[in-house]
Structure 1
Amino acid sequence: MHAVVDLLKNVQVHAILGPQISDAAPFVVKLGEQSQVPTVSFFQTSPTLSLTKSPLFIRAAQDESLQVKPITVILQAYQWYEAVVVYEDTNYGNGIVSYLVDAFQEIDIRLAHMSPISPSAQDFEISRELKRLKTMQTRVFIVHMTNNSMGSRLFELADKAGMMSEGYVWIVTTGLSNSMNAMDTENVDSMEGVLGIRSYVPKSKDVENFTMRLKRNLLSMKPNISVSEISIFCLWAYDTIWALAMAVEKIELTNSSFLNTRTNTSTDFERLGTSEIGPRLLSEILNTKFNGLSGEFHLVNGQLKTTSPFEIINVIAGKGVRVVGFWTPDKRLTKKLVSTSSSNGLKKIIWPGDSTTIPKGWAIPNLKVGIPVKEGFKQFVKMHKDRHTNETTFSGFCIDVFRAVLNALDFKISYEFVPFMNDTGGMNGTYDDLLQQIEEKRWKTGLEVSETYLSSFGWPDANTPVWEEIGYAGAMCAVEVYLPPTPLGVGLMCTFRHRLLVSESGVGALNFSSSDGFLKLYVTEELVAKGSSRFVLVIWLCAAYILMQSYTASLSSVLTVDKLKPKIVSVKELQSKGYYVGYQSDSFVKDLLVQQLKFNETKLRHYGKVQEYHEALSKGSENGGVAAIFDEVPYIRVFLANKKYSSNYMMAGPTYRTDGFGFAFPRDSPLVSSFSRAILRVMEQGNIMDNIEKQYFGHKIISLDLTPPISTDNSSLDAYSFGGLFIIVGTLSLLALLISESYIWQKPAVALAQIFSKTFPSSQPSNGNKSEIQIAQMDHVGGDSSEVEGSGNIQRISAKENEAENVDAEPS
């Protein structure tokens, strides 16, 4: 600081380059503003320091906040949804925290802990903080520091604490990555497996020539110095000095001085003068634009504008740093800058502990699984304690599903079932009490890792732990039903016989029978001649068949299977009549009834066993029982599946959707996402769930497709039920009639008589004599008809019994 004051006071400089210490930047900038001298920094500084807040400050380096994006992309790529940030407790370190918090919230990554470390912290203080971090379940650490000495000490102590072993993830920001080439080999080796975000330096001939000249000059000054890779800071420094020189040339600086220098003040700060050309020099620097060694030098709002990608590096012991990929501005990870379909992602990474297995990012816990103690419905959860061995075993639908999900996980978890039981062997509170203990981790065993709760529940509030749904639950009420015979409309089952007179000498007989379920149409003695008549006849016979089958089924239903009709049809009826209603003991349904459905709590009664359900419903509300029981659908289905009660009770009323059966975890548990994927795998393999359900229930009891309750409407068959059928039959019959009428009026009567006589010979007995029927041909003249006599054409039709003869026209 004193050097800056000396330069401004005695040398009267018109620009300040630096400082190299990021935490000193705010103080230096204030001194420059007091003297109207621009401060140009090519070192990394806090993102909170900007031209808007400090008009005479220029950052000729990459904005630190830009690296937040590649960090979050890496976390997403490896499915790490929880991280700890370790940062130096300085203005520089604190400046990036707010950006990380905002970025994590956008992609649903939890910031598990923030660990600030003072630059003056002793080794024992850092070790104490590392020991506390080791006890946490999170294994992903993001380190943000610029002090190489402090960063080196942190990783050396982490290695001693066993935190550089397999399963851990360390990601360092540009503060350490950009200057890692200046660290000792031993310090770098202690960081094996670390990932780093580093500014990208484009390769060019100019960069190669500059690197060779710099190394040659350094070796000439210090022959024993070891010069390795040139850092990005050297390139930024070169470009910044070049830009400053160009700006000075533009303003043609010849003779300038500081104005208003006061010498009679008590402090050096008050004796600082004001630069005459400082504001002009600032303006020229901001407008300077050229292609430098680090890329394009272009300042926007006092900040170096860059669209360069970031390098992703991997520290390997004995080999230093290896580039494993890049992050491009389009938010992608790629192995090469020339992106192809096969270059997505990163190269193979060596993780801490010399491992190539991608870490989970969190410690796999030894689960303590809380189990509710149920009085009834033990098909779901059942606890059995052997009197001889004193061993407790657990079984049931929920237990088997939990084990199936564990088998579907990508990793192995050891677990222990712990019954939520009081001293008397009963349930130690309600489901909500168990959930609360999971959140507060108040277990007798003093558990330090995450727990889970296994059973059915729902209707959570914002303070309850998270859960994963494994099936649809919902809540409905079971009510007692009575069985009245319901009228199903008018119906008749019979056999139709219809005789159709075709001619004076004979009849045609039609027989419609449905005894074997098929239409049978046959003709006795005579046939129906017209095609349209046959068509109409078939249509009506089909309609008659449909009617007869429908009414037969309806009549059978009336006589044999009475339709269920609940005594209670709505929640309003239960409330208005003051009926008592029931629910399963310790269930969340009580809160649903009171808080959501607004039932009076004094009208609620709880039961725990199937037999108690039956007794309460059979007694009724007036006799110490209930008028209805509300419960989750799977439990109601189990109750109704019991043959003793299935004929007396039914599900009725609306269904209130809840969160269903599931596993509860403490809030923000990393197990949630893993269990979610495992549950989906189990659900997709339908045979697993089907086998479990058949084992305990004999049929499907948990289903995402909820069967709607039986309707209480009195739906009877009537004429309106067959409206469509009647319309179709009537339309087709009318169409056939129109076609037939058109045919009759277009043909002469004689032709019609010929067709009839050929098709239907007389069946009257002739006693050996020929019987004749004469039909005069009708002529249509002017719409009137007259009989043609004498010379008119007269046709004779002769018929013999069982024999048809040809008809010859004879003149009268």
Structure 2
Amino acid sequence: MNNVRNNSTDLESIGQSRIGLELTQEISNTKFYGISGKFHLVDRQLETNSFEIVNVVGNRRLRIGFWTQAYGVSQRLNSTVDVKVHRWPGGSPDAPKGWKWPTNGQTLRIGIPVKPGFPDFVNVSNNSNSRPTGYCIEVFDHVMDSLPYNVTYKYFPFANPKDPNQMNGTYDDLVYQIYLKKFDAVVGDITVRANRSQYVDFTLPYTESGVCMVVPGKDEHRKNAWTFAEPLSTDLWIASGVFFIFTGIVVWILEHRVNKEFRGPPANQIGTIFYFIFSTLVFSHREKIVSNLSRIVLIVWVFVVLILQQSYTASLSSMLTVQQLQPTITDLSELARSASKVGYLNDSFMPGLLKGLNFDESRLIAFNSPDEYDEALSNGTVAAIVDEIPYIKVFLSKHCGKYTMVGPTYKTDGFGFAFPIGSPMVPDVSRAILNISESGKMDNITYLDVDEDCFVQKDGSYSSRITFRSFWGLFLITGVTSILAFLIHLAMFLHQHWGTVIYSDSGLSCRQMLVLLKKIYDRPDLSSDAFKEKEEQEMGVVEMQMQSPMSISQLGNEDVFGHEDYDIETPLEDEGTPGREICGQTPDPPSFADMLNQRRGYDSS
């Protein structure tokens, strides 16, 4: 025992008590009531006691009920009756989560700016009983409603005591009121800035960020006598003309030997080529196509022309009816180098930003509303307005079609809510903003009514002109089709007449053979179905005329079937191949009345 006393911390030297088991049994059987409640060991463990649940609100204590292992939460001990509905701190019936920060029932004082020029964001009424409205107010209300605990708050305008319609300082002064503990938070069109974050904490932004310019716009397309040529780019005009001529030549080659409408003097043939192919532009071509290869080429070409025509019509209509504005100034540095004046929103941080971009203070003019923006830009007081994107969108929605937005030229973090440094509400509010944004509820807020078509940004490169890049695939298709049709036609022609050229004269040179092939190709193919059908029609007319009484009386006239009527072309001796072409016009056959009168004349004689 002495050794144990001298080395009381040496557990290995302590021996096993002879009465340890008996002592353990006696302690387990011991039961008594102490200060902390009933003492009783069950399986060598202290039996769980009952707990009283108390709701502490300020200096008051409200008993909620009891908790026991046997009955859980109940109004009385040894009872299974559930407790009544109770209020947690803040007045909410829902129990707060342990990682959430309740407000302990305090009513937050929310400072808001007084901005008569842009009521779309925050609109404060002169009536003290009315509630402020606006986009920022509605977003904050949605955020507070989505928090897992109840928050009571009240808005307090940061107004000038002498003029309630004006703000009592700048936005920096408003945010600084949180540091002075005059406001618990600030809500409004408050931009997240680095200098402001030194004395407040901001939530995540809930609006689009950035600073941009709005400048007067000039119409990109001036309406003049040559506006009709602007829908297509120069390279597309050239490519279209080349393919028009190329397709016309291919069709002429395919039709020249088998179609009488594509024959005649060279001048007429050239005119036929241009008239036929360009008439496809308005689908007014009337020449009959005989060759199947020509039909394939023409079908593909008409499809290309149809798409080209529809695209041209749509682009020209857009140029004549839709105003396409281009900015007069495209770069903020360009504006800084000029002597033009620049406008900005009063009480904002724009003066400091513009001074940092080498703008002289004498060139900066402050405005209070979108109407003042419009007046200054219209009369030339300023060359541009530099402001944040949300303000610019509201301005352009009210004056759509007159100005254009350029930028963004400077990066900012957008609008956010300001709280005291270290406030546990900041992460909760930021999460709520993310949830509302991702769920699409932010888009349902209607106070910020902007027209997306009014602030399409222009970078100077926008154009509705159609380029060759948009149509090169179609031109490739029609080009390949025409070339294949030409090669097939050439192969068929050579297969048909190459033997004639080879065996006609073995002493012909290559040049003479080509000349001979040209002469053969220039003659009509009388064996084709088109010429046979045409010849049968003309011979039928001739036979009908020969059987009529009038034609019988004129049998002695040698010109009846002469060259003057039918223009039967006989090949020259030196042309090498026989041929015949009927290309004249036949006289109209006599009417039935003329034939009857002629018959009566024969009978009377």
| Same-fold call, TM cutoff 0.5 | yes
Alignment partner of 2:206 out of 470, 476, 482: 470
Q: Once the 2 structures are TM-superposed, how far is the Cα of residue 765 of structure 1 from its aligned partner?
A: 4.4
Which protein has the bigger helix share?
A: 2
Which protein has the bigger strand share?
A: 1
Find the aligned partners of 2:368 and 2:580 in 1 and give their Cα distance.
96
Find the aligned partners of 2:484 and 2:179 in 1 and give their Cα distance.
77
Q: Once the 2 structures are TM-superposed, how far is the Cα of residue 712 of structure 1 from its aligned partner?
A: 1.5
- For 2:10, the equivalent position in structure 1 comes to 17
Alignment partner of 2:108 out of 348, 367, 392: 367
Asked if 1 retains the 8 angstrom alpha-carbon contact of 2:191 and 2:413, the reply is yes
Alignment partner of 1:674 out of 415, 428, 443: 428
Asked if 1 retains the 8 angstrom alpha-carbon contact of 2:210 and 2:412, the reply is yes
- For 1:616, the equivalent position in structure 2 comes to 376
Find the aligned partners of 2:139 and 2:355 in 1 and give their Cα distance.
31
Q: Once the 2 structures are TM-superposed, how far is the Cα of residue 414 of structure 1 from its aligned partner?
A: 1.8
Asked if 1 retains the 8 angstrom alpha-carbon contact of 2:205 and 2:414, the reply is yes
Give the 3 Å change call, closer, same or farther, for CA 738–315 of structure 1 in structure 2: farther
Find the aligned partners of 2:145 and 2:202 in 1 and give their Cα distance.
21
Give the 3 Å change call, closer, same or farther, for CA 710–786 of structure 1 in structure 2: same
Asked if 1 retains the 8 angstrom alpha-carbon contact of 2:210 and 2:409, the reply is yes
- For 1:89, the equivalent position in structure 2 comes to none
Say yes or no: does 1:768 pair with 2:542: yes
Find the aligned partners of 2:349 and 2:3 in 1 and give their Cα distance.
74
- For 1:254, the equivalent position in structure 2 comes to none
- For 2:445, the equivalent position in structure 1 comes to 692
Find the aligned partners of 1:796 and 1:611 in 2 and give their Cα distance.
82
Alignment partner of 2:149 out of 402, 408, 411: 411
Task: Point out which structure has higher relative CO (alpha carbons under 8 A, 6+ apart).
Answer: 2
Q: Once the 2 structures are TM-superposed, how far is the Cα of residue 614 of structure 1 from its aligned partner?
A: 1.6
Q: Once the 2 structures are TM-superposed, how far is the Cα of residue 613 of structure 1 from its aligned partner?
A: 0.8
Give the 3 Å change call, closer, same or farther, for CA 598–504 of structure 1 in structure 2: closer
- For 1:628, the equivalent position in structure 2 comes to 384
Q: Once the 2 structures are TM-superposed, how far is the Cα of residue 581 of structure 1 from its aligned partner?
A: 1.8
SS in 2 for 1:385: coil
The one-letter amino acid of 1:697's match is D
Partner deviation per Cα, 1:336-362 (whole Å, 9 max, x = no partner): xxxxxxxxxxxxxxx999x99454543
Find the aligned partners of 2:335 and 2:13 in 1 and give their Cα distance.
77
- For 2:482, the equivalent position in structure 1 comes to 733
Find the aligned partners of 1:547 and 1:569 in 2 and give their Cα distance.
33
Say yes or no: does 1:579 pair with 2:340: yes
Q: Once the 2 structures are TM-superposed, how far is the Cα of residue 756 of structure 1 from its aligned partner?
A: 3.8
- For 1:393, the equivalent position in structure 2 comes to 131
- For 2:291, the equivalent position in structure 1 comes to 529
Q: Once the 2 structures are TM-superposed, how far is the Cα of residue 546 of structure 1 from its aligned partner?
A: 3.8
Asked if 2 retains the 8 angstrom alpha-carbon contact of 1:511 and 1:520, the reply is no
Q: Once the 2 structures are TM-superposed, how far is the Cα of residue 382 of structure 1 from its aligned partner?
A: 0.8
Find the aligned partners of 1:689 and 1:314 in 2 and give their Cα distance.
50
Partner deviation per Cα, 1:539-568 (whole Å, 9 max, x = no partner): 333333444444445555555555422221
Asked if 1 retains the 8 angstrom alpha-carbon contact of 2:102 and 2:149, the reply is no
SS in 1 for 2:41: coil
Alignment partner of 2:459 out of 711, 717, 736: 711
Alignment of 1:228-247 (within 5 A): 228=41
Alignment of 1:107-126 (within 5 A): none
Find the aligned partners of 1:744 and 1:698 in 2 and give their Cα distance.
69
SS in 1 for 2:187: strand
Find the aligned partners of 2:373 and 2:10 in 1 and give their Cα distance.
84
Q: Once the 2 structures are TM-superposed, how far is the Cα of residue 423 of structure 1 from its aligned partner?
A: 1.3
- For 2:173, the equivalent position in structure 1 comes to 433
Partner deviation per Cα, 1:631-689 (whole Å, 9 max, x = no partner): 122221221122xx433311123353422233222233232333334334433454x54
Q: Once the 2 structures are TM-superposed, how far is the Cα of residue 484 of structure 1 from its aligned partner?
A: 6.1
Find the aligned partners of 2:49 and 2:342 in 1 and give their Cα distance.
65
Partner deviation per Cα, 1:215-234 (whole Å, 9 max, x = no partner): 632455998676626889xx
Asked if 1 retains the 8 angstrom alpha-carbon contact of 2:201 and 2:426, the reply is no
Give the 3 Å change call, closer, same or farther, for CA 475–223 of structure 1 in structure 2: closer
Partner deviation per Cα, 1:705-728 (whole Å, 9 max, x = no partner): x97512323748477456624444
Asked if 1 retains the 8 angstrom alpha-carbon contact of 2:280 and 2:302, the reply is no
Give the 3 Å change call, closer, same or farther, for CA 757–314 of structure 1 in structure 2: farther
Q: Once the 2 structures are TM-superposed, how far is the Cα of residue 579 of structure 1 from its aligned partner?
A: 2.9
Partner deviation per Cα, 1:427-454 (whole Å, 9 max, x = no partner): 12222222222244234xxxxxx43423
Alignment partner of 1:661 out of 401, 408, 415: 415
Give the 3 Å change call, closer, same or farther, for CA 734–511 of structure 1 in structure 2: closer
SS in 1 for 2:330: coil
Q: Once the 2 structures are TM-superposed, how far is the Cα of residue 479 of structure 1 from its aligned partner?
A: 0.9
Partner deviation per Cα, 1:302-323 (whole Å, 9 max, x = no partner): xxxxxxxxxxx9984588889x
Partner deviation per Cα, 1:491-547 (whole Å, 9 max, x = no partner): 7999x99896655644699698799xxx757755x33322x3222223333333444
Alignment partner of 2:216 out of 466, 477, 480: 480
Give the 3 Å change call, closer, same or farther, for CA 565–222 of structure 1 in structure 2: closer
TM-score (norm 1): 0.47
- For 2:303, the equivalent position in structure 1 comes to 542
- Quote the RMSD (CA, aligned, Å): 5.2
Alignment partner of 1:216 out of 13, 16, 22: 22
Find the aligned partners of 2:438 and 2:159 in 1 and give their Cα distance.
34
- For 1:261, the equivalent position in structure 2 comes to none
Asked if 1 retains the 8 angstrom alpha-carbon contact of 2:202 and 2:416, the reply is no
- For 2:76, the equivalent position in structure 1 comes to none
The one-letter amino acid of 1:411's match is Y
Find the aligned partners of 1:555 and 1:352 in 2 and give their Cα distance.
68
SS in 1 for 2:417: strand
Alignment of 1:145-294 (within 5 A): 214=20, 216-218=22-24, 228=41
Asked if 1 retains the 8 angstrom alpha-carbon contact of 2:210 and 2:408, the reply is no
Asked if 2 retains the 8 angstrom alpha-carbon contact of 1:465 and 1:665, the reply is yes
Asked if 2 retains the 8 angstrom alpha-carbon contact of 1:408 and 1:678, the reply is yes
Give the 3 Å change call, closer, same or farther, for CA 522–409 of structure 1 in structure 2: farther
More deviation in 407-416 or 627-636? 407-416
Q: Once the 2 structures are TM-superposed, how far is the Cα of residue 378 of structure 1 from its aligned partner?
A: 0.9
- For 1:244, the equivalent position in structure 2 comes to none
The one-letter amino acid of 1:478's match is V
Find the aligned partners of 1:714 and 1:402 in 2 and give their Cα distance.
38
Alignment partner of 1:384 out of 105, 125, 134: 125
Find the aligned partners of 1:589 and 1:320 in 2 and give their Cα distance.
64
Asked if 1 retains the 8 angstrom alpha-carbon contact of 2:216 and 2:327, the reply is yes
Give the 3 Å change call, closer, same or farther, for CA 796–363 of structure 1 in structure 2: closer
Find the aligned partners of 2:50 and 2:205 in 1 and give their Cα distance.
42
SS in 1 for 2:112: strand
Find the aligned partners of 2:427 and 2:330 in 1 and give their Cα distance.
41
Identity between Structure 1 and Structure 2 (%): 31
Find the aligned partners of 1:352 and 1:378 in 2 and give their Cα distance.
37
Partner deviation per Cα, 1:64-87 (whole Å, 9 max, x = no partner): xxxxxxxxxxxxxxxxxxxxxxxx
Alignment partner of 2:188 out of 439, 454, 460: 454
Find the aligned partners of 1:558 and 1:357 in 2 and give their Cα distance.
63
Find the aligned partners of 2:582 and 2:533 in 1 and give their Cα distance.
11
SS in 2 for 1:441: coil
Q: Once the 2 structures are TM-superposed, how far is the Cα of residue 584 of structure 1 from its aligned partner?
A: 1.2
